[in-house]
Amino acid sequence: MTEAEFTSRVFSGIQPSGGLTLGNYLGALKRFAQAQDQGIETIYCMVDLHAITVWQDPVKLRHATRELCAGFIASGVDPEKSILFNQSQVSEHAQLAWIFNCVARMGWMKRMTQFKDKAGKNAENASLGLFGYPALMAADILVYHATHVPVGEDQKQHLELTRDIAAKFNHDYSVDFFPITEPVIEGAATRVMSLRDGSKKMSKSDPSDMSRINLTDDADTIAKKIRKAKTDPEPLPSEVAGLEDRPEARNLINIYAALSDKSVDQVMADVGGKAFSEFKPMLADLAVAQMAPISDEMSRLMQDEAEIDRILTVGADRARAIAAPILKKTYEIVGLVGS
Catalytic residue list: 118, 201, 204
Residue number with CB closer to ligand TRP (151 or 322): 151
Residue number with CB closer to ligand TRP (141 or 268): 141
Q: Does 41 bind ligand TRP (CB under 6 A)?
A: no
Q: Which of 164, 159, 166 is nearest to 145 (CA)?
A: 166
Residue number with CB closer to ligand TRP (11 or 100): 11
Q: 16 burial class (0-12, 13-18, 19+ CB within 10 angstroms)?
A: buried
C-alpha dihedral sign at 128, 130, 131, 135: positive
Q: Which 1-40 residues touch ligand TRP, going by CB under 6 A? A: 11-13, 15
Q: Which residues of 303-329 are buried (b: 16+ CB within 10 A; e: fewer)?
A: eeeeebbebbeebbebbbebbeebbee
Q: Does 151 bind ligand TRP (CB under 6 A)?
A: yes
Q: Does 272 bind ligand TRP (CB under 6 A)?
A: no
Q: How many residues bind ligand TRP, per CB under 6 A? A: 13
Stretch that binds ligand TRP, among 133-141, 164-172, 203-211, 222-230 (CB under 6 A): 133-141
Q: Does 50 bind ligand TRP (CB under 6 A)?
A: yes
Which member of 40, 141, 161, 236 binds ligand TRP (CB under 6 A)? 141
3-state secondary structure of 255: helix
Nearest residue to the partner ligand TRP, using Cβ: 13
In whole angstroms, how close is the CB of 135 to ligand TRP at the nearest point? 11
Q: How many CB atoms lie within 10 A of CB 159?
A: 20
Q: Where are the alpha helices (DSSP H) in 276-304?
A: 276-302
Report the distance separating Cα 222 and Cα 91, nearest Å. 39
In whole angstroms, how close is the CB of 150 to ligand TRP at the nearest point? 8
Q: Cα–Cα distances in Å, from 13 out to 209, 274, 313?
A: 25, 39, 16
Q: Which of 2, 9, 73 is nearest to 319 (CA)?
A: 9
Q: Does 149 bind ligand TRP (CB under 6 A)?
A: yes
- Interface ranges with ligand TRP (CB under 6 A): 11-13, 15, 47, 50, 137, 140-141, 149, 151, 155, 158
